[in-house]
Amino acid sequence: MKGKNRAQFELRLVEDVRQRLAAFPALTFRRVHGRLYIELNGTPFEALNEPLSRVFGVISFSPAVRVKPELEPILETALALIQAAGPKTFKVSARRTARNFPYSSQEIPRLVGAHILKNTPGLKVDVHTPEVELFIEVRQEGVFIYDRVYPGAGGFPVGTSGKVLLLLSGGIDSPVAGWYMLRKGATLGAVYFHSPPYTSERAKLKVIELARILSLWGNRVRLTVVPFTEIQEALKARVPESLLTTFMRRYMMRIAEKIAEDAGALALATGESLGQVASQTLENMHVINAATRLPVLRPLVGLDKTEIIAMARKIGTYETSILPYADCCTVFTPERPQTKPRLINVERIEARAGLDQEGMIARALQGVEVLDITPDMPQIVEGLVDVYL
């Protein structure tokens, strides 16, 4: 990434990191040439490990010791780090961008390596597969020594790629799809279709919790809960049972499109994976997609269920997703769903079914509940904390 984009990207990233680490007031931040230095000022590094690993746009991070640009403190610190790690084999790598430092990036590893070997009996150098690799960076802003490199979450900082509206159910797939969109830098909105009494309050709470877990990765997720009972009941009464899911999904797309337009989102996202269930055949995707003009992004389209489950575990949504509450897609599931619907037939049936499409959608939109979900527990439980905890 170059020029102005890069600068904006970095500023956004620094802001994200600050926000994620807001609970640690002692930290100070400094951005130099594509790097962010966080001075711990007494904060334990371990406490930052997890929140940092959730910031998209971070390639890697390391706890480093900064020393004076002199040989003696470099030797001492390098030795202390190696002895604390206690490996059997090690390697020293160095990089020097501060030209005024008297030793070159070839000389530093030799000097440091010799010092460590002399003072640590039994330790060996292994340049190919060392147990511990010690990095020494001599830069204008200081000399940094570190032996651990933690992988970051990768991707782009949240908010650098525009806004996407996720169709979030209580299942395993859609939260993972949302995570992939967040990782690519999208700001995430989510829409959940709620059908009381067919779906319970607990199913809604489960979705709120899923949105909260996503917000750990994206700071904030605006969740729109859409009342869907009227539409489901009308479809059940008026369309062939085998196409029920197809019609339902078309209505969801229409409603989501309106919400997306209001929110300035330029695309919808779903957790669909090609061929995974009857409503996710290519034919069904085609028919369902035709109900909206917005692009429908399907980041899981090529993944297998086992891969999706592994991702759900990794991002922390799996345990919540498998809680056994019915969602609106399972309540009205047809016994023999149509796997190869044709758009022309579906449109014909829809036109003849005598459904009050405009009215039903308008009423659903009027009844929405909008929740701004943040990593702290959602608003509904606040009362509990004050009174009982």
**In whole angstroms, how close is the CB of 369 to other proteins at the nearest point?**
15
Query: What are the residues whose beta carbons fall under 8 Å from the beta carbon of 72, sequence distance 6 or more?
Result: none
Count the Cβ atoms, other than its own, within 10 Å of residue 373.
24
Nearer to other proteins (CB atom), residue 362 or residue 381: 381
Which listed residue (201, 233, 304, 356) binds other proteins by CB under 8 A? 201
> Is 274 among the residues that bind other proteins (CB under 8 A)?
no
Could you tell me if 89 and 125 are in contact, meaning their C-beta atoms sit under 8 angstroms apart? yes
**In whole angstroms, how close is the CB of 201 to other proteins at the nearest point?**
5
Binding mask 30-59 for other proteins (x = CB under 8 A): ----------------xx------------
Nearer to other proteins (CB atom), residue 319 or residue 369: 319
**In whole angstroms, how close is the CB of 23 to other proteins at the nearest point?**
10
Query: What are the residues whose beta carbons fall under 8 Å from the beta carbon of 97, sequence distance 6 or more?
Result: 137, 138, 139, 140
Residue 93, amino acid? S
Binding mask 202-221 for other proteins (x = CB under 8 A): x--x----------------
Query: What distance in Å separates the CA atoms of residue 287 and residue 16, rounded to the nearest whole number?
Result: 39
**In whole angstroms, how close is the CB of 202 to other proteins at the nearest point?**
5
CA angle 268, 269, 270 (to 5 degrees): 130
Nearer to other proteins (CB atom), residue 32 or residue 85: 85
- 386 — phi, psi (to 5°)? -65, -40
DSSP strand pairing (142-146 vs 65-67): antiparallel
CA distances 272 to 95, 287, 299, 304, 334, Å, are 46, 14, 8, 11, 18
Query: What distance in Å separates the CA atoms of residue 246 and residue 226, rounded to the nearest whole number?
Result: 18
Q: What is the DSSP string of 129-169?
A: S-SEEEEEEEETTEEEEES--EE---S--TTSS-EEEEE--
> Is 103 among the residues that bind other proteins (CB under 8 A)?
no
**In whole angstroms, how close is the CB of 46 to other proteins at the nearest point?**
6
Of 199-207, 232-240, 275-283, 343-351, the segment contacting other proteins by CB under 8 A is 199-207
**In whole angstroms, how close is the CB of 200 to other proteins at the nearest point?**
6
Binding mask 57-86 for other proteins (x = CB under 8 A): -----------------------------x
Pick from 38, 370, 51, 37: which is nearest to 219 by CA? Answer: 51
> Is 22 among the residues that bind other proteins (CB under 8 A)?
no
Of 75-83, 156-164, 358-366, 376-384, the segment contacting other proteins by CB under 8 A is 376-384
Of 93-101, 123-131, 200-208, 277-285, the segment contacting other proteins by CB under 8 A is 200-208
Residue 100, amino acid? N
Query: What distance in Å separates the CA atoms of residue 308 and residue 374, rounded to the nearest whole number?
Result: 24
**In whole angstroms, how close is the CB of 17 to other proteins at the nearest point?**
20
Binding mask 304-343 for other proteins (x = CB under 8 A): ---------------x-----x------------------
> Is 261 among the residues that bind other proteins (CB under 8 A)?
no
- 330 — phi, psi (to 5°)? -90, -25
Interacting residues toward other proteins by CB under 8 A: 46-47, 86, 200-202, 205, 319, 325, 377, 380-381, 384-385, 387-389
